[in-house]
Amino acid sequence: MLSFDYFVHDRLFVVRLRHPDSEASREAAELAARHQREIQRALCFVLIIGRDCTMPAPEARRQLAEDQTRLGSICAQMRTVVLGRELRQALVRSVVTGFAMLPGRVRPKIDGSIPELFDALEADLDVDRHWLEAELIAARVIDEREARWPRARVSPTV
C-alpha cells in the first residue's frame, strides 16, 4: 500500500499522506526539494491528510516535523487540509497545528476543506479550480466526494 500520493504542477506540490512513517516523510520532502531545484522557484506545498490516514508514531512525528521545517526553507506558501470530523482527525489537526509553531519556517495555513483549498489556490496561484480538481482526482490525491466536502467541524460533544 502506498504511503502517499502526490501531484506536481509548476510551483504547486501536493502530497496526500496515507500512512505517515519516517520513510514516507523523507521521500515526500526529497521529491519536493528536487522539484524546487528543477524549477528554481519557491513552492506552494500542500499537505492533505485524509480520513484514511493513520496516526503517525512518535518517531514519524519527529521526522514529519523535521521535514516540514526543511520544506519551509524552499516554500513561499504551505497549506494543510485535514479531512474528516472524527476525534482522530481532531488529534491529527492538533499535531499539524503544532508544526505551525516550529521556528524558522513558513507557517502553514490550515484550510478546512478541499473546496476552501481550491478557493485559496485559485486566488494565490491563479489555478483553475475545475482543472485542479480533475487533476487531483486523476492522481488519486483526492476523490470526488472529498472535492465537495464541507468545511470540517469538530463537534463539541465528542
Tell me whether residue 75 is in a domain.
yes
What is the pairing mode between strands 4-9 and 75-82? unpaired
Q: Is residue 158 part of a domain?
A: no
Q: Are 80 and 109 in contact (CB under 8 A)?
A: yes
Position 158 scores a pLDDT of 33
Q: Which pLDDT does position 157 carry in this prediction?
A: 35
- Expressed as residue numbers, the domain containing 20 is 4-146
pTM above 0.75, yes or no: yes
Number of domains in the chain: 1
User: Quick one: pLDDT at residue 53?
Assistant: 80
Pairing mode, strands 12-17 and 4-9:
antiparallel
Cα four-point dihedral sign 135, 133, 32, 119: positive
Residue among 57, 54, 67, 68 at smallest CA distance from 97: 68
In a domain, 60, yes or no: yes
Q: What confidence score (pLDDT) does residue 154 get?
A: 39
* Spans in the chain with pLDDT lower than 50: 1, 152-158
Q: Is residue 153 part of a domain?
A: no
Domain assignment of residue 98, yes or no: yes
Q: Is residue 156 domain-resident?
A: no
In this structure, are residues 74 and 106 in contact, taking their beta carbons and an 8 Å threshold?
A: no
- Considering the domain boundaries, does residue 155 fall inside one? no
The x, y and z cell numbers of residue 145, run together, are 466526494
**Distance, CA of 144 to CA of 8 (rounded, Å):** 19
SS (H, E, C) 120-146: HHHHHHCCCHHHHHHHHHHCCCCCCCH
**Domain with 141 in it: what CATH number?**
3.30.750.24
Asked if residue 151 belongs to a domain, the reply is no
pLDDT at position 57: 85
Cβ atoms 20, 26 nearer than 8 A: no
Q: What is the pLDDT of residues 21-51, one digit of tens each?
A: 889 889 999 999 999 999 999 999 999 988 8
